[in-house]
Structure 1
């Protein structure tokens, strides 16, 4: 796994040379807590998700990545938003500089067992009040804010 560095609204950010669709899920349990993972590469808390593979839909990608990263079987219940901000780029050690292209779905748990993956150090359901002081990328905070607003329509941006 190559190392990565996120840039967000940073004038020193390298120019993007890649665009890869990714899907993530904001999964809520019966108590209103949100499924979060602590990334092994940055230590930041994040929603489960990853990049789309050839032969699958973006929805299948989000469900697969959530299973791989958390151990839980989920289903999509809605769309939180489409996030394609060119001011958010991710630089990888192999020279790839990827512009953000992520679709975040809403979801719920169908089954499975909560488990840490090779990409994370912790996986937990957390209440909105618990998330305020945790380390996380500003774009993840944006998604959480959009969820908290209970928007009638998905975010498009």
Structure 2
């Protein structure tokens, strides 16, 4: 099965051939770790989120995506950042290629006892912030993760700021 491919600042990336996509991402943290999913369409790790449907608001999409992908219910959300670098692209197995603009939200969820893995995911996991860059992340999520780590003041083992 062909996989979706993600691109960020890659000169070898294909040219978009579809209208730009708009999506939301949920930054869900617990005890210094971030919730990520291993995607079925690419075997890559990614933050929780997805596309905004034509009939919903940004926050409705955020609530829906979190519920669909994790079983969790959003109790509050605040805008973390807008990620609109034109080099953020997704190439689908069908040949469609689109540029994506993503609004990332810091999200609080209602208390929970277990995560529910959706059909879109192979696995859900809380990963310590310091270990995020060791995962094979979807390239389109790199700027979001870098911004989060930068905001949290994470440094490399040598004591140098990561970005």
Task: Give the TM-score band, short-chain normalised.
Answer: 0.7 to 0.9
Q: Distance in 2 between matches of 1:67 and 1:39?
A: 16
Give, in whole Å, the separation in 1 of the partners of 2:61 and 2:109: 16
Whether the 8 Å CA contact 2:90–2:100 is kept in 1: the answer is yes
Alpha-carbon RMSD? 2.0
Query: 2:52 and 2:123 mapped to 1: Cα distance?
Result: 23
> Measured at CA, do residues 3 and 13 of structure 1 come closer, stay the same or move farther in structure 2, by a change above 3 Å?
same
Task: Give 1:7 deviation, angstroms.
Answer: 2.4
- 5+ long unaligned stretches in structure 1: 152-157
Deviation per CA, 1:71-102: give whole Å up to 9, x if none.
Answer: 11113431111111111211223332110211
Moved more, 9-18 or 64-73: 9-18
Please report the TM-score for the alignment, with normalisation by the length of structure 2: 0.81
Distance in 1 of aligned mates of 2:150 and 2:68: 29
Quote the residue 1:87 is aligned against.
Answer: 87
Aligned to 2:159: none
Match of 1:69 in 2: 69
Deviation at 1:148, TM superposition (A): 2.6
Whether the 8 Å CA contact 1:76–1:105 is kept in 2: the answer is no
Contact 2:37 2:47 in 1 (8 A): yes
Moved more, 79-88 or 123-132: 123-132
CA spacing shift, 1:46–1:55, aligned 2, 3 Å: same
Q: Is the 8 A contact 1:80 1:146 kept in 2?
A: no
Structure 1 CA distance for aligned equivalents of residues 57 and 84 of structure 2? 18
| Structure 2 residue 110 is the aligned partner of structure 1 residue 110 | yes
Shift of 1:6: 1.7
Partner of 2:120: 119
User: Which residue of structure 2 lines up, in the alignment, with residue 47 of structure 1?
Assistant: 47
The number of residue pairs the alignment matches comes to: 149
Distance in structure 1 (CA, Å) of the matches to 2:150 and 2:133: 15
Corresponding residue for residue 6 of structure 2: 6
Instruction: Label 1:63 to 1:80 Cα distance change in 2 as closer, same or farther (>3 A).
Output: same
Structure 1 moving runs of 4+ over 3 Å: none
